[in-house]
């Protein structure tokens, strides 16, 4: 079978696996649009298939197309026999309309997406981190037909960041199995698909409270940011982390706006857990989501608090259940991160590191005023705040989005403060990647402030 056909089958299998898992979620009162559901299905499918592969390793079962696909084929058959389907929300009426300006933005977004796929697929994985941290692991797993037992005992420590989660290395291994060979070129298709997924989530999230034109403008704004689109092609995991965080935050917000929407709560927890299964920074975003849940639950009306507390416990339970196997394996193998070894969380040490604030902010402003990477997105966000400061934090949605971004920024600053690395070097190397993680949420907040109507952002407790 041609490699291209194998690639298409692999992508379809991942998406169908996620879609069938989506069918098992509680019934939604406000279902997703088709392209939202497809985006979430792909991300969910990647995470669940890689988790299944990790469980196969724990059970001592070799990786093969049969061992990996069997549970998902059974699930698909079960959903067909029981007629479990995912009820989609009908497309807005305006989707059928068109206009010159709208068509220009559609064309612009389409060109950016096509170009992302083109740049990703014209050459194999070549970036240092993408090879040394992730791709080398996927090759080991493919050639061994499993995660070798000696991997955690001796091999892991050879590579940088040995404790990084295995979501994408295992996903790449799955595609190698589909190809029947190592292929560092076609396997990169994963990354622009996640890029397209973020754009789909952003468009339809904004479309819920704004016109089609406004949704296209903000989606175009996000799609054309050079630093953002570049990470859809270089096989780094920052854009994938951004997808999982953005999806989890949007779904959590939908639950906050409608506490009866249990499906959004559960799906948000899965997306947040997969963020932690993708990169260690994902743990911070899990903590942010749980913290914001507590804030909105305990500051809301008293009758809703009991249900809110149960929801927080369920959310935290899902996060722990999904990531516990990996955490236990790491602990048993005594695998630590070299970055963790050079951290000091002693409060006294933190006070002594106050001097780092100046170089941290200096490196931040170098990114903030860097049109080559970011165009004018960060000054534009400040302008939106200054021109609409009364609306910037008004309503549940705006407040949630703003607090989520603020907490992420503070989390990274705290990370810099407790590290014993040279702060100017550390911040200079990482700020540009960290900003990608919450960039879609910033664009979404901007759209809420500029276009959001009060009736769309009040919580229904």
Report which of 109, 319, 86 is spatially closest to residue 206, judged by C-alpha positions. 109
DSSP 70-128: HHHHHHHHHHHHTT--PPPPPPPGGGG---HHHHHHHHHHHHHHHHHHHHHHSS----H
**Helices 136-144/167-179 angle, 10° precision:** 50
Cβ-based neighbours of 151, under 8 Å, separated by 6 or more: 140
Handedness of CA 199, 200, 203, 209 (dihedral sign): negative
At residue 96, the pLDDT reads: 52
How many angstroms separate the first and last alpha carbons of the chain? 54
Cα 103 to Cα 33, 91, 213: the distances in Å are 21, 18, 9
The backbone torsions φ and ψ at residue 258, rounded to the nearest 5 degrees and listed phi first, read -150, 95
Residue 26: the pLDDT is: 78
CB atoms within 10 A of CB 72: 20
CA distances for 179 relative to 76, 175, 187, angstroms: 23, 6, 9
User: In angstroms, how far is CA 234 from the centroid of its own chain?
Assistant: 16
- Would you state the pLDDT for residue 407? 97
C-alpha separations of 275 from 245, 280, 284, 366, 435 in Å: 6, 8, 9, 27, 16
Instruction: Please name the helix (run of DSSP H) or strand (run of DSSP E) that holds residue 374, with its range, or none.
Output: helix 371-374
User: What pLDDT score was predicted for residue 459?
Assistant: 45
Chain-centroid distance of CA 352 in Å reads 34
Task: List, for the chain, all residue ranges whose pLDDT scores fall below the cut of 70.
Answer: 28-29, 93-98, 156-157, 337-350, 454-461
Nearest-5° Cα angle at 400, 248 to 43 = 10
Q: Is the CB of residue 414 less than 8 Å from the CB of residue 173?
A: no
> At CA 167, angle to CA 426 and CA 221, rounded to 5?
65
Tokens of 72: 């998902």
- In the block, residue with structure tokens 């809420």: 448
Give 222-259 as a DSSP string.
HHT-HHHHHTTTS--SHHHHHHHHHHHHHHHHHHHHBT
Give the pLDDT confidence of 86-98 residue by residue, as tens digits. 888 777 765 555 6
The 10s digit of each residue's pLDDT in 206-241 is 999 999 999 999 999 999 999 999 999 999 999 999
Cα atoms in the 13 Å half-sphere on the side-chain side of 84: 16
Residue 152's CB is within 10 A of a number of other CB atoms, namely 17
Distances (CA, A) of 365 to 46, 406, 416, 427, 432: 35, 16, 15, 11, 11
**Which pLDDT does position 180 carry in this prediction?**
94
pLDDT at 460: 43
DSSP character for 146?
S
Contacts of 324 (CB under 8 A, 6+ apart): none
| Predicted local distance difference test score (pLDDT) of residue 461 | 41
The pLDDT assigned to 349 comes to 65
- Contact in structure between 221 and 111 (CB atoms under 8 Å): no
| C-beta separation of 446 from 217 below 8 A | no
Query: Which DSSP string do the residues of 332-355 spell out, in sequence order?
Result: HHT---HHHHTB---HHHHHHGGG
pLDDT of residue 333: 82
Are 101 and 216 spatial neighbours (Cβ–Cβ below 8 Å)?
Answer: no
Picking from 165, 127, 200, the residue whose alpha carbon sits closest to that of residue 282 is: 165
- Scanning 299-333, the segments in alpha helix (DSSP H) are 305-333
Res 411: pLDDT: 95
Match 């290395």 to its residue by tokens.
169
pLDDT at 248: 98
Residue 252 and residue 293 in contact, taking contact as beta carbons nearer than 8 Å: yes
């Amino acid at each position: 079978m041609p490699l291209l056909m194998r690639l298409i089958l692999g992508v379809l299998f991942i998406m169908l696996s996620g879609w069938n898992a989506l069918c098992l979620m509680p019934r939604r009162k406000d279902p997703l649009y088709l392209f939202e559901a497809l985006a979430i299905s792909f991300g969910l499918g990647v995470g669940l298939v890689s988790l299944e592969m990790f469980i196969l390793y724990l059970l001592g079962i070799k990786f093969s197309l049969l061992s990996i696909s069997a549970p998902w084929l059974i699930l698909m058959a079960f959903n067909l026999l029981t007629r479990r389907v995912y009820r989609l929300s009908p497309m807005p009426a305006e989707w059928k309309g068109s206009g010159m300006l709208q068509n220009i933005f559609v064309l612009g977004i389409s060109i950016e997406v096509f170009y992302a796929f083109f740049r990703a697929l014209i050459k194999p994985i070549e970036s240092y981190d993408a090879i040394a941290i992730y791709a080398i692991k996927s090759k080991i797993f493919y050639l061994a037909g499993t995660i070798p037992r000696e991997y955690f005992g001796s091999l892991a420590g050879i590579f940088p960041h040995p404790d990084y989660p295995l979501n994408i290395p295992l996903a790449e291994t799955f595609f190698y199995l589909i190809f029947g060979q190592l292929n560092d070129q076609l396997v990169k298709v994963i990354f622009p698909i996640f890029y397209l997924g973020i754009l789909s989530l952003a468009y339809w999230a904004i479309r819920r409270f704004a016109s089609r034109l406004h949704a296209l403008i903000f989606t175009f704004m996000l799609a054309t940011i050079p630093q953002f689109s570049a990470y859809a092609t270089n096989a780094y995991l920052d854009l994938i982390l951004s997808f999982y965080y953005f999806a989890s935050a949007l779904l959590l917000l939908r639950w906050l706006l409608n506490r009866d929407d249990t499906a959004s709560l559960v799906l948000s927890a899965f997306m947040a857990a997969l963020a932690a299964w993708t990169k260690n920074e994902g743990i911070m975003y899990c903590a942010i989501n749980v913290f914001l849940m507590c804030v909105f639950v305990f500051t809301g009306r008293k009758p809703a608090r009991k249900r809110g507390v149960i929801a927080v416990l369920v959310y935290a339970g899902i996060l722990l259940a999904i990531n516990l196997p990996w955490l236990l394996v790491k602990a048993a193998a005594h695998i630590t991160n070299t970055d963790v070894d050079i951290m000091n969380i002693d409060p006294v040490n933190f006070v002594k590191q106050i001097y780092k604030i100046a170089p941290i902010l200096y490196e931040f402003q170098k990114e903030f005023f860097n049109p080559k990477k970011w165009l004018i997105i960060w000054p534009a966000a400040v302008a939106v705040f200054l021109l609409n400061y009364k609306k910037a934090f008004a309503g549940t949605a705006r407040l949630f989005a703003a607090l989520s971004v603020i907490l992420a920024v503070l989390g990274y600053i705290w990370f810099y403060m407790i590290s014993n690395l040279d702060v100017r070097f550390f911040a200079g190397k990482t700020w540009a990647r960290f900003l990608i993680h919450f960039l879609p949420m910033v664009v979404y907040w901007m759209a809420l402030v500029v276009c959001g109507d009060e009736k769309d952002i009040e919580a229904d407790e």
